């Protein structure tokens, strides 16, 4: 495994791809406990979820987002 200092020298897009790959490698339980969610963020997520339920056709699939970002 490469030292973190070497990984930090990667180009920005490669560091981002690595970060996403690491995040995607976590199971749901690890992800749920990784980031605390305060009440304001929870309310924003609820609003976005309601907007999605009202118009699910407006959603962009994750694979498409990754492609647009040049991540694969």
Domain boundaries, the chain: 4-68
- Report the 10 Å Cβ neighbour count for 7: 13
> What's the pLDDT at 21?
94
Is residue 58 very low, low, confident or very high in pLDDT (cuts 50, 70, 90)? Answer: very high
Given a cut of 80, whether residue 72 has pLDDT beyond it is no
Short-list 3, 5, 7, 4, CA closest to 16: 7
Q: Name the H helices within 1-72.
A: 4-7, 12-24, 28-34, 39-54, 62-68
Is residue 1 very low, low, confident or very high in pLDDT (cuts 50, 70, 90)? Answer: confident
pTM across the whole model: 0.50
Cβ contacts of 30 within 8 Å, gap of 6 or more: none
**pLDDT, tens digit, 9 for 90 and up, residues 16-32:** 999 999 999 999 889 88
């Amino acid at each position: 495994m490469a030292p973190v200092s070497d990984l930090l020298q990667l180009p920005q897009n490669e560091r981002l791809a690595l970060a996403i790959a690491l995040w995607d490698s976590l199971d749901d339980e690890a992800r749920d406990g990784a980031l605390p969610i305060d009440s304001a963020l929870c309310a924003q997520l609820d609003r976005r979820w309601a907007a999605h339920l009202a118009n699910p056709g407006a959603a962009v699939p994750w694979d498409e987002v990754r492609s647009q970002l040049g991540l694969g």
